[in-house]
Amino acid sequence: MSVVILGIESSCDDTSAAVIRDGVLLSNVTAGQAVHEEYGGVVPELASRAHQQNIIPVVDAALRRTGIGRTEVNAVAFTRGPGLLGSLLVGTSFAKGFAQALGVPLIDVNHLQAHVLAHFVAEEGVERHFPEFPFLCLLVSGGNSQIILVSSYKDMKVIGQTIDDAAGEAFDKCAKVMGLPYPGGPHIDRLAKEGDPERFKFSKPNIAGYDYSFSGLKTSFLYTLRDEVKANPAFVRENLNDLCASLQKTVIDILMGKLAKAAKDLRIRHIAVAGGVSANSALRQAFVDYGVKHHCEVYIPKFSFTTDNAAMVAITGYFKYLDGDFCDIALPPYARVTV
């Protein structure tokens, strides 16, 4: 008998719904929120209101595209956290009401674990190469930079993480100072392709173990701009590509340095990357280069699975459904937690 999972994601500013049958993705619909661009970042209250407007049309579209009726859904998986509490409340409340109306189980999903398990989403007619356990996953998103040892879909251990800013925050904050639109990461990636990554040198942290730090890099970048702009007010405009290229190279060097150390120490030969920053073209190339140099397997997600999406929620829900790992309807969402 087939197992159909409806996944719902609403942790930040993307409202998404997906349908998976027996581990195979049938639909993945996402509605973004352009309203935040003029504020230079996500405004939580505006995000939760937009989720309220989007949740029903998005879920309806996800089901209609599959031809699967509501009564064929076996369980509803939803992002319980971490994320913006108001946004999570919208998705959680809808999932609870939908599941209760159908009389099917609820499955709560950790947003960060879902990013890791996005690597296991199968698609009809698409050949996929799934990671082998155990593997290391570099999880890099707007607010998270972690190295996770993944022994199974439900056995994940964070062995390194940022002690201050995350890589995505460094990109966004530095981009804002340069006058680039929000989110800054994609704009830095685009401009860096035309720049010289060796032009500017920014400080790199000296943190023990596998932990990250990006606050010093951000400060070094800001001081460079401050000093140069004093002498030449047009400095940023005249050197924008080189600034972006040098900043991007520094961030990636920091990320890959700790990951390489962890892989060597633990003798892990299967390496994955996940999260929104994994859409960065230079980081993706760095993974390819690492795999060639060290003769190991690397796993890079499709662009559609890098940002927040319900496909990753649905596949996590599918694994938990097979284990009978359901949740009580009274469980509230949570804003902060680690894997």
Angstrom CA distances, 8 to 40, 54, 109, 151, stand at: 26, 12, 10, 25
Q: How far apart are CA 120 and CA 128, in angstroms?
A: 8
Known binding residue 119? Answer is no
Q: Which residues of 294-322 are buried (b: 16+ CB within 10 A; e: fewer)?
A: eeeebbbbeeebbbbbbbbbbbbbbbbbe
Known binding residue 7? Answer is no
Q: How far apart are CA 6 and CA 25, in angstroms?
A: 10
Asked if 92 and 332 touch (Cβ cutoff 8 Å), the reply is yes
Known binding residue 257? Answer is no
Instruction: Give the strand pairing for 106-110 and 145-152.
Output: unpaired
Known binding residue 184? Answer is no
Known binding residue 115? Answer is yes
Number of DSSP helices (H) and strands (E) in the chain, helices first: 10, 11
Known binding residue 140? Answer is yes
Question: 7 - beta bridge partners?
Answer: 18, 77
Known binding residue 143? Answer is yes
Known binding residue 280? Answer is yes
Known binding residue 139? Answer is yes
Residue 234, judged by CB atoms within 10 A of its CB (0-12, 13-18, 19+), counts as exposed
Backbone phi, then psi, for 88, in 5-degree steps?
A: -60, -35
Known binding residue 172? Answer is yes
Q: Which long-range contacts (CB under 8 A, 24 or more apart) does 285-294 make?
A: 286/252, 286/255, 286/256, 290/256, 290/259, 290/260, 294/260, 294/263, 294/269
Known binding residue 41? Answer is no
Known binding residue 141? Answer is yes
DSSP string, 15-43: EEEEEEETTEEEEEEEE--GGGGGGTS--
Provide the annotated binding site for substrate: 139-143, 172, 185, 189, 280
Binding residues for Fe cation: 111, 115, 308
Binding site, by residue number, is: 111, 115, 139-143, 172, 185, 189, 280, 308
